[in-house]
Structure 1
Amino acid sequence: MPLPFLTADGVFEAHEDDALAHVDHDRWRRPYRPGPWRVAAAALLLLLAAFMLLSTMIIAFAGTWPGALICLAAALAVIGSALRILLAGVWVSPSGLRRVAFLRTHSLAWNQIDEVRTVQQPVRWLGLPRTVQGQALTVAGRDGAELPVLLTDHNADFLSRTEAFDRAAHAVEAWADEYRAVAA
């Protein structure tokens, strides 16, 4: 069922190769959709936060305000964690490449990047210390420095979804090819 009020300004006109379409093409965008493991983890955290907010209300009605404020702060921290989990990944824009992790964000301009390529190497399974053989999208800096791995086929976005990993890796490589040529 078409919803004309959503497409009136063209904000939600998505294309096959553009997972997050925006009118302003200078915005940061993730060239792939978040994976089911990432979404499931965020959903579980939001469910936990809902119970924490319910307990906050019960504690507040009981009249224990310091306990209610502590519980509210903990619930807000859990909600913030769920949002940060959903934001984690690789983002691209005409100005550069951004790798968003849970606690850290690292941005590189396209003129600082020498090469973006997919390689076979041991990768971490769901970010845990256990490693398995898999594919990784890596980036090399202009000075020859090897930067942290951008994507793997065993992370929370692409576990058991090799076609989605291939599409995402090709999309990031295409962005890199296009904008490194413009930046050079």
Structure 2
Amino acid sequence: MPLPFLTADRTFEAAFDTALPYDDRERWRRPYRPGPWRVGVAALMLLLASFVLFAAVATALTGSVPSAAVVLGAALVIIAAALRMLRMGVWVSGRGLRRTGFFATRTTPWARVVSVRTLQQPVRWLGLPRTVQGQALALVREDRRAEDTPPLLTSHTLDFLRRPAAFDRAADAVEAWAAEYGSGRD
């Protein structure tokens, strides 16, 4: 019996055999898939939001509309947080490199990118203050040093935890975009 979801994984990875497999280079794209940890946490948040939405309906049916509105607002905040968490990461296009965080998004045009390189250094584990030895994809801009900017990707985030091959593919893809569009060549 064919299992189409297994072949979809191979199709996605086959698309990365070439360095820049996209036709429309002006569209913002993430050159890697969100990791299973990130997707799992977002799924749990959406599951929690469904229970909160059910509580909002139950509260509204009991006649307490202002309380139901507060509970509905809490559910919408949980849904927005889950969706924003799924959007976090590094995005590339022909226009530049975009780092999307939970609260802020920063775009660096390719003209200001000197280099993008992989370094072996202490990195934050899951974004927490604890550091472990790992790999980081560092961005060097023409107006700053690599030490002044936080790494684009690390091997110990929700996307790449215990997936070193996925980190290597993502780092290679971002480096390929930088090599093609960046102002400085390594």
Tell me the C-alpha RMSD between the 2 structures: 2.0
Match of 1:47 in 2: 47
State percent identity of aligned pairs: 55
For residues 96 and 131 of structure 1, do their structure 2 counterparts lie closer, same or farther at Cα, with a shift above 3 Å needed? same
In structure 2, the partner of 1:72 is 72
1:22 Cα deviation after fit: 6.8
Deviation at 1:181, TM superposition (A): 5.0
Q: Deviations over 1:78-117 (max 9, x none)?
A: 0000000100000000000000111111110001111100
**Residue equivalent to 1:129:** 129
| Whole-Å separation in 1 of the counterparts to 2:150 and 2:88 | 14
State the distance in 1 between where 2:169 and 2:162 align. 14
Between the aligned partners of 1:22 and 1:164, the Cα distance in structure 2 is 19
Paired position in structure 2 for 1:16? 15
Counterparts of 2:156 and 2:138 in 1: how far apart (Å)?
Answer: 14
Higher RCO, 1 vs 2 (CA within 8 Å, ≥6 residues apart):
2
Instruction: Please give the residue correspondences for 1:167-182 in structure 2 after superposition, counting only pairs within 5 Å.
Output: 167-181=169-183
Give the aligned residue type for 1:163.
Answer: A
Matched AA of 1:161: R
Q: Matches of 2:52 and 2:103 in 1, distance apart?
A: 23
SS of equivalent residue, structure 2 residue 108: strand
1:148 equivalent in alignment to 2:147: no
Structure 2 gap ranges (5+): 5-10
Output the CA distance in 2 between the equivalents of 1:104 and 1:152: 18
For 1:148 and 1:54, the matched residues in 2 are separated by 40
Q: Which has the higher helix share?
A: 2
Residue identity opposite 2:179 in structure 1: D
Task: Return the TM-score normalized by structure 2.
Answer: 0.86
Q: Displacement of 1:143 after TM fit?
A: 2.2
Length, aligned pairs only: 170
* Whole-Å separation in 2 of the counterparts to 1:114 and 1:24: 24
Offset from partner CA, 1:2-24 (integer Å, 9 cap, x none): x9xxxxxxxxx965218xx8764
Give 1:148 deviation, angstroms: 1.5
2:100 partner amino acid: V
Give the Cα–Cα distance (whole angstroms) in 2 for the partners of residues 93 and 161 of structure 1: 25
Report the Cα offset of residue 142 of structure 1. 0.6
User: What do the CA deviations read for 1:24-51 (whole angstroms, capped 9, x no partner)?
Assistant: 4311000000001100110010000000
Say whether 1:95 aligns with 2:95: yes
TM-score (norm 1): 0.87
Letter aligned with residue 155 of structure 1 = T
Q: Which amino acid aligns with 1:53?
A: L
Unaligned runs of 5+ in 1: 4-12
Amino acid at match of 2:62: A
Aligned partner of 1:166 in structure 2 is 168
